Amino acid sequence: MSEILVLGSLNMDLVANVKKMPRIGETIVGDQFSQIPGGKGGNQVCAMARLGASVSMIGCVGEDDFGKVLKASLKNDGADVSSVKSVDGVSTGIAMIMVDERADNSIVVIPGANYSVDQRLIDENEKLIDDCKIAVSQLEVPLEVVEHFIVNSKKRGKYTILNPAPAKHLSDELIKHIDLLTPNETELETISGCKVSTIEEAKIAAKVLIDKGLKEVLVTLGEAGSLYINKDRIKHFPTFKVKAIDTTAAGDSFTAAIAVGKSEDMKLDDAIVFASKVGALTVTKKGAQSSLPSREEVNNFRGE
């Protein structure tokens, strides 16, 4: 039995470190190539397990070497991956990532087996939903399956968290079954239909969603920190200053840490500070799951 249940994607990240991103039509020589376990779902599961949570995952990989490595790696971190199905005839998800010297990245995802996740897989794993306290998803598996998972989890009294990445339009039915949405500014723009380039605009966009029945919004603002909004309260949280090497998976680890904080009954403000530390530590190392901190590293972190 796990306290946190994650529905989501697993990708093998094929990462090229480059000085500058190539322009259209340009060929460049990169500095380094690495193959690193990733996928927004897998990254969240890995982060939760390293932070000490009991976590189970629902997802799909192909019957290939990447799929085996991704499952084994999460299992090694202590996550329950017995409901990650190996699907015949499709390849495991892949993400082609370029990271430049400024720590910025650009990512192309080939979903592969992630798009084999279907409603039947959720229904087959109803017991995991019944047993968990918190249900978490992102948007790298089919949207209708995410909706089925979130609506079902909410109806069974679970605290539901959606990290809406990559951004997609969400139905009103899905929105009203989400307890906490963790978008960045562009994701909030897509979901709310409002322009979001300032904190004031983020507040207005979040209110649009709260009026539709969403309980809480926690907008990540990169170096500007995060902004929490519910129907009665708005609070800005600054970020911790670190030297950024690679921002891959920072959003994933932030959402994961909020779920861990909630599972430990932390006060929400404390959970957001905890998540800000986890997000800051994540950008100090290269790669997705290779950069996710342990609980000990977070406890020892003395950021400014």
Position closest to ligand RIB via CB = 38
Q: Given 3-state DSSP classes, what are the helix, strand and coil percentages for the chain, each rounded to the nearest 5?
A: 40, 25, 40
Nearest distance from C-beta of residue 191 to ligand RIB, angstroms: 17
Angstrom distance (rounded) from CA 1 to CA 131 = 6
Considering beta carbons, is residue 177 or 293 the nearer one to ligand RIB?
293
265 carries an active-site annotation: no
Nearest distance from C-beta of residue 70 to ligand RIB, angstroms: 10
Considering beta carbons, is residue 11 or 153 the nearer one to ligand RIB?
11
Considering beta carbons, is residue 129 or 188 the nearer one to ligand RIB?
188
Nearest distance from C-beta of residue 174 to ligand RIB, angstroms: 20
Considering beta carbons, is residue 164 or 251 the nearer one to ligand RIB?
251
Helix (H) or strand (E) holding 215: none
Contact residues for ligand RIB, defined by CB under 6 A: 9, 11, 13, 38-40, 43, 95, 107, 109, 140, 248-249, 251-252, 288
Q: Which of 77, 80, 246, 252 is catalytic?
A: 252
Can you spell out the DSSP letters for the chain? --SEEEE---EEEEEEE-SSPPPTT-----SEEEEEEE-HHHHHHHHHHHTT--EEEEEEEESSHHHHHHHHHHHHTT-EEEEEEEETTSPPEEEEEEE-TTS-EEEEEE-GGGGG--HHHHHHTHHHHHH-SEEEE-SSS-HHHHHHHHHHHHHTT-EEEE---S-----HHHHTT-SEE--BHHHHHHHH-S--SSHHHHHHHHHHHHTTT--EEEEE-GGG-EEEE-SS-EEEEPPPP---S--TTHHHHHHHHHHHHHHTT--HHHHHHHHHHHHHHHTTSSSSGGGPPPHHHHHH----
CA separation (Å) from 173 to 41, 105, 119, 134?
A: 22, 33, 16, 19
Nearest distance from C-beta of residue 288 to ligand RIB, angstroms: 4
Considering beta carbons, is residue 217 or 292 the nearer one to ligand RIB?
292
Nearest distance from C-beta of residue 213 to ligand RIB, angstroms: 27
Q: Are 143 and 43 in contact (CB under 8 A)?
A: no
Considering beta carbons, is residue 152 or 253 the nearer one to ligand RIB?
253
Nearest distance from C-beta of residue 156 to ligand RIB, angstroms: 28
Residues acting as catalytic residues = 252
